[in-house]
Structure 1
């Protein structure tokens, strides 16, 4: 697998001539986690889909470049807000979907380990309709993690989980995605404060940054530095400055 590149997104987007977001310049550092926050409808998910090369419904005026000059789509694992599980397939089949579509062999040891780590070993032969929303989201996360791509895009990947499970899945994701270039969209300041090597806040008019704590991720939820960063992010989101 190729090394994770840095990615630079520069430009603006509009829908039917109406601006979706103003010109932004955002660089995703290679092998690091970038957290992107902002209100609903400001274009955060559009940014993810643009990096993936997926349709967005918006017109993008700008460029997306990589530090190594390589194309992105084949090197990206993408987890959307919806779990997008195939209803007729088992959870095990859904998790290994990418490899099956590419007609590649599946490493069953890795697959079984990931299913165990997300707490779905006992549900591997079930179908999505038999699982709770949180279990389905964990299945979608497992499918993303087993892809082993150098660039990983996550759209609210832990939103359906209870607090304890969310913390465990955050820690698992950081462990598995070590040295990957990760962009995570979240509405949760505490999540960004815990996971971000870089934290950006997107508004319709500009992109702001907030310095993360100078500690390794995932940071303890209760650490003073994490709580201070969370508070600063909340102030920025409410338009009160850091």
Structure 2
């Protein structure tokens, strides 16, 4: 069995990013104990901006780790630190066992080119290049021969279901298609770690939902390690294996979507998640429990499915459901009814809005 450490791709401890005249001054003395709240208050009094405050977390191999918060919470600054587009003032970042904060020059460029993929809100496609050429461009920078890089780009076009649009210029593509090309380009080098900073927020709601579906489809095939940034709690709950919720530069709660929705650590998190319909955000596996006695006859439900999928069967009288892939787990109607009561108290229906 693999060790716990081997399951971690990115490990971050006590990260600080501060904007100001001389922020590193406060971190020059080695070995002293930092008081995060006290230091944050002092930095702000003296005109600095503590954008990331004492952030610690691990990103597991193959998981979708979502960093979310409102505008100004520090989430985009944090992901730029993780990709070394910004340097941190204090803390450690280990990427595949390497101290990422200490890597510089050609070695850092090589890691970004070969091991990291990045997608941002602005699609960033080069307007004079076709979709195929945009996707192949990172491989061109690596010195990959033209036949090989174009073959890889065609594979990526097929992966994002744009195989017939390789000759199109960005101006000839819809917003959703442009973002698919951006995603394909970021995957062309087969990165180990994939960063996506609000990649769908500029899209119309329907296209955004379709892109989320596409993203989950791709992840089911590729099993990438992903750090995904969003300000949308429903998007976070739909996509994430785990969520880090930020406020004022700090991570104030870290956990699965179900943990954050059902066990908020404070009133801010509770208010932040109050309008989320749990029937859409909570998944079967979050409420499943070990079976007592014989397994029930009846429906088998996927563990990752939102519990809204079982509501028709529940209404028709079904009281237990078997969980696909695990003969020891069942989902009981009582657990689902508690979730429905919570939504009812908040005036939320299964469709996700106020009733």
**Superposition CA RMSD, Å:** 3.1
Residues in 2 aligned to 1:44 and 1:210: alpha-carbon distance in whole angstroms: 16
Q: Is the 8 A contact 2:52 2:77 kept in 1?
A: no
2:140 corresponds, among 63, 78, 100, to 100
TM-score, scaled to structure 2: 0.55
Q: Identify, as 1 or 2, the structure richer in helix.
A: 2
Relative to structure 1, is the Cα distance of residues 61 and 103 closer, same or farther in structure 2, using a 3 angstrom cutoff?
Answer: same
Structure 2 SS opposite 1:158: coil
Relative to structure 1, is the Cα distance of residues 217 and 127 closer, same or farther in structure 2, using a 3 angstrom cutoff?
Answer: farther
Q: Is the 8 A contact 1:174 1:218 kept in 2?
A: no
Aligned to 1:124: 166
**Alignment of 1:86 onto 2:115:** no
- Gaps (5+ residues) in structure 2? 1-5, 21-47, 101-110, 258-282, 287-301, 311-335, 347-355
Residues in 2 aligned to 1:50 and 1:122: alpha-carbon distance in whole angstroms: 37
Note the alpha carbon deviations across 1:68-108, whole angstroms, 9 max, x for none: 23655342111122111111111110011111111124365
Q: Is the 8 A contact 1:174 1:217 kept in 2?
A: no
1:174 corresponds, among 219, 233, 245, to 219
Say how many residue pairs are matched: 224
| C-alpha deviation, 1:144, in angstroms | 1.5
Q: Is the 8 A contact 2:67 2:245 kept in 1?
A: yes
Aligned to 1:50: 81
Aligned to 2:19: 15
Relative to structure 1, is the Cα distance of residues 167 and 19 closer, same or farther in structure 2, using a 3 angstrom cutoff?
Answer: closer
Q: Is the 8 A contact 1:83 1:140 kept in 2?
A: yes
| Structure with bigger RCO (C-alpha 8 Å, 6+ apart) | 1
Residues in 2 aligned to 1:183 and 1:82: alpha-carbon distance in whole angstroms: 17
Residues in 2 aligned to 1:44 and 1:53: alpha-carbon distance in whole angstroms: 14
Residues in 2 aligned to 1:132 and 1:167: alpha-carbon distance in whole angstroms: 16
Aligned to 1:68: 97
**Alignment of 1:211 onto 2:241:** no
Residues in 2 aligned to 1:192 and 1:27: alpha-carbon distance in whole angstroms: 17
What are the residue-to-residue correspondences of 1:32-47 with 2, within 5 Å?
A: 32-47=63-78
Relative to structure 1, is the Cα distance of residues 42 and 66 closer, same or farther in structure 2, using a 3 angstrom cutoff?
Answer: same
The structure whose Rg is larger is: 2
Relative to structure 1, is the Cα distance of residues 146 and 220 closer, same or farther in structure 2, using a 3 angstrom cutoff?
Answer: farther
Structure 2 SS opposite 1:122: coil
Relative to structure 1, is the Cα distance of residues 45 and 103 closer, same or farther in structure 2, using a 3 angstrom cutoff?
Answer: same
- Gaps (5+ residues) in structure 1? 236-242
Q: Is the 8 A contact 2:136 2:150 kept in 1?
A: no
Q: Which moved more, 1:213-222 or 1:47-56?
A: 213-222
| C-alpha deviation, 1:219, in angstroms | 4.5
Note the alpha carbon deviations across 1:110-168, whole angstroms, 9 max, x for none: 53243134242332212112222222111101111222111111112233261552243
